[in-house]
Amino acid sequence: MHAEITQEIEEYCEAHSTSEDDLLNRLDRETNLKVLRPRMISGHLQGAFLSFISRLLRPTSILEIGTYTGYAALCLAEGLSPDGTLDTIEIDEELEDIIQKYFNQSRYKEQIILHIGDARTIIPTLNKKWDLVFIDAEKKEYFDYYEAILPQIQQGGIILIDNVLWSGKVIQEVKENDKDTQSIIDFNKYIQNDQRVRNLLLPLRDGIMIIEKL
């Protein structure tokens, strides 16, 4: 599909989806104005999708790997059961102020726990069984996060993994030094052959893999 049509289709989808709430809208704008690499934010359509999945599942424990400015965490929190919690991990301590600023304005603030540090060291310290996990951090580390969290997922638990189409590069010839694309291609293949899970790759935005633990 031509890139401009994709953009138009995305705008049409946004225009026919429930509007972004005020907090998310302000966070999106501040991220775009003040934070480096704003393209990393989930944004309206993907955020609404994450919120929908979470509200369908009503999870007690959610884990997000890669908080950035907190947009997806706020969307995922919308489905939490009343006694549920969401843990989110971000390696970049410079993002802590903006993340906390918006978490503090959320009605879910008491249920969201922010961890600053490397997910690969923090995950083993979180002694929880996850109902829903969103992986959205360093692409070359997807395999490490996946293997670290799979034993901590309940049967029937769901993992969502972002950017698995990597701007369409997964179906193009990989340049010799393009480690990110190769990592994602290898990761997608690994999931496809993993007998422990059922998986669905959706072409939403940059590609989301939905995985159910069997």
Ligand X SMILES: C[S@@+](CC[C@H](N)C(=O)[O-])C[C@H]1O[C@@H](n2cnc3c(N)ncnc32)[C@H](O)[C@@H]1O
Tell me which residues touch ligand X (CB under 6 A): 40-42, 65-66, 68, 71-72, 89-92, 118-120, 136-138, 141
Closer by beta carbon to ligand X, 101 or else 176: 101
- Amino acid of residue 71: Y
* Residue whose C-beta lies closest to ligand X: 66
Q: 24: closest CA among 137, 106, 88, 132?
A: 106
Closer by beta carbon to ligand X, 120 or else 150: 120
> Minimum CB separation from ligand X for residue 208, in Å?
11
> Minimum CB separation from ligand X for residue 195, in Å?
27
Q: For residues 87 and 63, is the Cβ–Cβ distance under 8 A?
A: yes
Closer by beta carbon to ligand X, 72 or else 165: 72
Q: Is the Cα dihedral 25, 68, 65, 199 positive or negative?
A: positive
> Minimum CB separation from ligand X for residue 64, in Å?
6
How many CB atoms sit inside 10 A of residue 84's CB?
18
- 3-state DSSP of 8-41: HHHHHHHHCCCCCCHHHHHHHHHHHHHCCCHHHC
Closer by beta carbon to ligand X, 32 or else 214: 32
Q: Is the Cα dihedral 86, 183, 166, 208 positive or negative?
A: negative
Closer by beta carbon to ligand X, 64 or else 131: 64
> Minimum CB separation from ligand X for residue 52, in Å?
15
> Minimum CB separation from ligand X for residue 149, in Å?
12
Q: 75: closest CA among 23, 17, 148, 147?
A: 23
Report strand pairing: 85-90 vs 112-116.
parallel
Closer by beta carbon to ligand X, 48 or else 119: 119
> Minimum CB separation from ligand X for residue 107, in Å?
18
Q: For residues 64 and 72, is the Cβ–Cβ distance under 8 A?
A: yes
When computed from its CA atoms, the radius of gyration of the chain, rounded to whole angstroms, is: 17
